[in-house]
Each structure stands twice: as structure tokens, then as C-alpha cells.
Structure 1
Amino acid sequence: MPGAVQFDAVIVGGGFYGAAIAIYLTRQRGLKRVLLVERESALMQRASYHNQARVHNGYHYPRSFTTAYRSRINLPRFVRDWPQVVKQDFTKLYAIARRNSKVTTKQFERFCREIGAPVRPADPALLNLFEPRLIEGVFEVEEYAFDSSKLAAWAKRELEECAVELRFDTRVMAISRGPDLTSRVRLDDRHGSSEVTCRYVFNCTYSGLNQFAGDFPGTQTRLKQEITEMALMDVPPVLQELGITVMDGPFFSMMPFPARQLHTLSHVRYTPHMHWADAPALDPYSKLGSYARETRVDRMVRDVARYLPSMAQARYADSLFEVKTVLVKNEGDDGRPILFEKHAELPGCYSVLGGKIDNIYDVLERLDAEQFVAAAGISDLRSSA
């Protein structure tokens, strides 16, 4: 192997979280030599792109007050920090089903008041879009979408300005203890294997959190992996300027997807295709790569059109298949807290996962409480964000 190269920090994963943490470490915490490693050929090609591109405002989580409240707090911060990627020029509706919903219209209104989220009854013209025998109430809310392509462009530009070294088409295979509180990170790319050493490692690989050899202990938090399908639809004109969620149970959500000028369609029953308990020997991306990817969009549209008849005229364009990672402990309440683990067995090694784009602020708050020292320095370089 070539000689080791010293870095202050190695970030594993070039999604939004990995990029944002790399920028934070250089801009806010004074680390000078930061390496970001991504297995794909560009930034934000996996879960950061293959999702519903929703900037949550809390409405989606009536069974998890903490998740809802954090989204409510984080949304205005996200809009302030990334105005160029946020799409606000559409009307967002939440509808409550008459049957099988885990929340009633009165409960939903009370929940919105409790978290301070704006909500008002939808105009009659919008009510007419729904089948009244199946829908109990419809509300207009404030919730946005983001353009993942523009967010990736922001990340690329900022990382270059911060002089973060980027290595694409490269996998981290092992993380091991090195001398003097450092870690050794083994990399594989098309040229073969190499090794770098660093003071800090940030494992931001989302579904690949537990896929490292060496001394990496794995996460203490149990994870569940799912192969999911997000259908991309060209919706009829009456739905073009709308985002719609029918909740809270085995229902669906439709949101603008600015990166493709289409709408995403997800269905609680049909979006998850298969699932398994996360384990080091089960590489999620290998399972996704070998999956047949047969779309279920016909079943999605057939069920959605019962509640929203005009969706029967929507045209199917494509599907985004991806691995979704969830914390097992939150399956019952739909909560989406971050996973933030500091591995005692590997000093300076962190595993980070967030279920929503706005969770980034929860991660940065945790990092604010950590002390980081540049490899070449002897002083505490901690500063406030």
C-alpha cells in the first residue's frame, strides 16, 4: 500500500449530511485537512436524491410530538439557509381519511396548534378534488419541497471553497485504531487499495453505517433496512400546483419533485417492497443492486384515485428505488430522531444518520458540544456555529 496520508477528519459518504458536516468542520471548527469519500461518481446520488424532497413542518408526525416540534423549529432555519433550493410556490394539503386513520380532523387541528404549525380549512374548490365519502376533512398548511440537484450544486461549490478533498468512486472498506488517538481508514478505488490516517472519522453512509471491517464496532442502535419505490408522476393540470398527503395510516403522499419537474407519489402499503434487519454481512446496496425493481405504480394509482379521482389521469414517468434506513425503536410512533453515536472503541469516530433533511440542525447541535483539535495544532479549536 502507498504511504499513509494524515487528515484532520475523514467523512464517509457524500450525501447532504456528509457534505454539510465537512463544511461545518472546516468553517465552524477550524479543521484544515478534511477528506470526503463517496462511493458514487458525484455528490448526493443516493438517499439525498431518491426521496420525496419534502421540507417538513411537523404535520406528518402527529404520533411523535418531538419529531414534529423539531421539524417545526427547523423548517424556517432551512428556508433561511438554503433559499435557493426551496420550492414554496405550491399549495400543500393534508387530508384526513374517514376510515383507518389514526388521527381525526379534530385531533389533527389540536396537534397543529400544539406545535404552532399554521393550519386552516381548505377552500371549497380544493375540497372538490377529494371523494367526500372517504375523506373527513382537508386542511391547507405550510410545507415546502427542495430541489436536490440544486442542493448538490451548493454542496459541490461550498466543499471546493473549503478546500475539502473529494474522492469519488471510492469505498471505505475498514476503519481501525491507529497510534496516538488516530484512526486508519482503508480505501478501495479503481486503482486498488490505499490507507489514510486521521484524528476523526464521520460515518455518514446512511444505509451503509455498519458495513466496515477493522475495529469498527457497529452502531448500538438497531436498524431496519427497506427497499422502497418512489414513483415519479406527471400529474394532470388540476394537481400541478399542489402537494397532497392523506393520513394517518395506510395512505399516500404526493409532492412536487423540483429536480425533475414531476411529482413523487408514495404509498404506505406499496412504497416498501422488502425489509430486513440490518447486519454487517448484509450489504444493503448489493441487495438493492440485485433487486428486480418491478414497479407497483399501478396499485398505487388505483388506490390513490379512490380518494383523489383526478389522479387516475396521471402519467407514470419513472421510479426511484432506494434503500431506506429507519431506527427500529421508532417503528411504532413514526418518530424520526437522529442517530448520533460516538464510538468509545474508536476514539474520534462518529456514526450519524438523519431521517429528514431538516435533521441536519439536530446533528450540528450535537457536534457543537464536541471538542475538535486540528492534527497540526495543540489548542482546542471549538467555536460556536
Structure 2
Amino acid sequence: MAEFGDCVVSNFDKYYAVARTFSKVTGQQFQRFFDRIGAPLSPAPSRIRKLFDLRLIEEVFAVQEYAFDADKLAARTAGALEAAGVEVFLEREVALVERHPQGGLRLVCGTPDGLHGVKAGQVFNCTYAGINRLLRASGLPPIPMKHELTEMALVEVPAPLRDLGITVMCGPFFSVMPFPARGLHTLSHVRYTPHVAWNDQADDRDPYETLDQSPRVSQYPYMLRDTLRYLPALSGCVHVDSLWEVKTVLPASEADDSRPILMRAHHGLPDLHCVMGAKIDNIYDALESVDQISRSRRAG
């Protein structure tokens, strides 16, 4: 908020609901957690509680949570790169990383005109779902990861929900959140947002090729039907589009949906570092780790 407030959208109210059944937490446990970490939490007003089926929902809380505008963030980041004198090459794919005969590393890159090499002192592989593709192509050991092909439905919500964000915690439930870049809401569902999942230790298919080649048959009807049981006020929701993407997590996150940063320094080659963060604010922790690598490199 302090650094990127101009890219943050806060003109909506956010509520978390706790289900009576199938939930991993109770309303009391959820409240105790917020008290422990010092985050603001208060009971939702009656007009909000009436949006839910309270036979299935135990408690509804008002919280402080915002969204970011992806278009504004991209534009600001592009401007910061340019101001810092960073060269950015688009439509280039790194085919492999190898030792350079004169020291350091060389990236063999594909371009519209063929292949060329780029010499580098350090390489940070931040290609998210593509991290292992590059490692395998370079003859280096892959890192255990799980990939999912996912669908986020973009919807027009009914008027009573337009200035709201709602998440039901914590189990096979859903979230309805503003998506400022399109002036719509996203509807995601723990059970129906993932379409296909695989562990790439056993299955080394390229996640992005798999995404491009997969049929895009929306599971929005299933998302909506289940959501309406808990949030009848969503009746009349209109499906406008869907966002299709690869979600990559560490296998250890399967049980708790945690999103730790992956940071592997000198992975397979000196000065080749693999970085994966799955939440937008991971960037601050990632930069601390990069600084540590730089300090260690200078000292060594």
C-alpha cells in the first residue's frame, strides 16, 4: 500500500464468511487468529449477513483487504524498468543456460531470426511454471513442483454485490472479488477453478504448451451452482469471460494452500538462481533473498 498505492483499489468492502460444515476453521477460531496477528476484524452488518444462507454460514466478518489493478501495475513497472535503464527484450525465449567459455553464464535465446547468446554474470530464472522447462533443457535437475490449469470466471455481479468482495473460508468454497482491470468480478472456486493438475517430477510436459493446447470448456456453471447455495444474492450473475492460466505451487503446499517463496541459489550452475513467488507481495521477501545472494557473492 505504501509503495504502490496508485495501483491499489480500495473502494469496496471485503467480507470473509465461515461455513458451518466442511470448514477447516470455526468462526471463533477465525476471530482468534485475527486478534493474534493484530488485523482489523468486525462482525458484518445485518444487511450483509442477509445476502447469505445462514443455515450454511456460521459467521460473516468485515475485514480490510484490497485489490490491485493489473494494468496500472504493469504500466508503472514498465516505466520503472525504463527509468532504471534496464533493457527488456520481448518475444525472446531462453532455450538453455550454460557455462560461458570465458567465465560466467551464457543464455542461448530464441529470436524471430534464430538463436543468439547473451553473456551474464548472474541469471535469475523467474519463469514461474517454466522454471523446470529451462532447467531440463539445460541438463540441470528439476525442482519438485505441482501445476494446475485454472479458470477464473469474470462476471458481472448483481447490484447488491458490486461494491463487495466475498470469500468463504476455509475449505471447498469460493471467492468473489473485484477485478479492476476489466471492471468486473472474478469468481473462483476451490473445487472447480482447477481443471487439470499434475506433478512435474512424474510428468514433464510443458505447462504453458499444455495450457495453449487444452480445450477451454468453462466450469462456471458448476462454480455458480455451488456458490448460490451459500450466497443466494449472487443469483442473476452474468458470465462475461474467463481467465485461463497455469498455477504452480510446491508439493508441500497441497495440504494447506500456503504460498512460500521458492529460492534456489546456484541451482545446478554457479550464479544460476531459481525464484518463484506465488503472491504479489512475495516480491519484498524475494528481494531480501536476492540481496543476501549478492552479499554472499561479493564476500566469496
TM-score (norm 2): 0.95
Task: For 1:172-251, list aligned pairs within 5 A.
Answer: 172-179=94-101, 181-212=103-134, 213=136, 215=138, 217-220=140-143, 222-251=144-173
Question: Do structure 1's residue 364 and structure 2's residue 287 form an aligned pair?
Answer: yes
Question: Per-residue deviation at 1:187?
Answer: 0.4
1:89 alignment partner AA: N
CA distance in 2, matches of 1:227, 1:112: 32
Matched, 1:347 2:231: no
Q: Distance in 2 between matches of 1:341 and 1:216?
A: 16
Aligned match of 1:113:
35
Is 2:125–2:131's contact at 8 Å kept on the other side of the alignment? yes
Letter in 1 for 2:225: R
Residue 94 of structure 1 is aligned with which of 5, 16, 21?
Answer: 16
Percent identity of equivalent pairs: 47
1:313 paired to 2:229: no
Please state how far the C-alpha of 1:306 moved relative to its aligned partner: 1.0
Q: Distance in 1 between matches of 2:10 and 2:142?
A: 37
The answer on 1:159 being equivalent to 2:81 is yes
Q: Which position in structure 1 is the counterpart of 2:209? A: 286
2:267/2:273 contact within 8 Å kept: no
Equivalent residue pairs, number: 297
Q: Which residue of 2 aligns with 1:334?
A: 257
| Residue 356 of structure 1, CA deviation | 0.4
1:264 aligned partner: 186
Higher RCO (C-alpha under 8 Å, 6+ residues apart)? 1
Shift in CA distance, 214/275, structure 1 to aligned 2, threshold 3 Å: closer
Structure 2: how far apart are the matches of 1:328 and 1:243?
29
Matches of 2:138 and 2:170, distance apart in 1 = 42
**CA contact under 8 A between 2:265 and 2:293: conserved in structure 1?**
no
Distance in 2 of aligned mates of 1:113 and 1:333: 21
- Closer, same or farther: CA 331–197 of 1 in aligned 2, 3 Å: same
- 8 Å contact kept, 1:340–1:350: yes
SS at match of 1:193: strand
User: Residue 282 of structure 1 aligns to which amino acid in structure 2?
Assistant: R
| Structure 2 residue identity aligned to 1:224 | K
For 1:249, the aligned partner's letter is: G
Give the alignment's TM-score, normalised by structure 1.
0.74
Where 1:371 maps in the other structure, the secondary structure is helix
The CA distance in 1 between the partners of 2:8 and 2:252, in whole Å, is 31
Q: State yes or no: 1:124 paired with 2:55.
A: no
Instruction: Tell whether the 8 Å contact from 2:156 to 2:184 is kept in structure 1 after alignment.
Output: yes
Q: Deviations over 1:45-64 (max 9, x none)?
A: xxxxxxxxxxxxxxxxxxxx
Unaligned runs of 5+ in 1: 1-78, 374-378
Q: Conserved in 1, the CA contact under 8 Å of 2:15 and 2:164?
A: yes
CA distance in structure 2 between the aligned counterparts of 1:224 and 1:214, rounded to whole angstroms: 19
For residue 310 of structure 1, report the CA deviation from its aligned partner: 1.7
Distance 1:160 1:216 in 2: 34
How far did 1:330 drift?
A: 1.6
Distance 1:343 1:138, change over 3 A: same
**In 2, distance between residues paired with 1:201 and 1:293?**
35
Alignment RMSD: 1.7
C-alpha change, 1:262 and 1:117, in structure 2 (3 Å) is same
Displacement, 1:344?
4.8
1:58 corresponds to: none
Is residue 98–residue 138 contact of structure 2 (8 Å, CA) maintained in 1?
Answer: yes
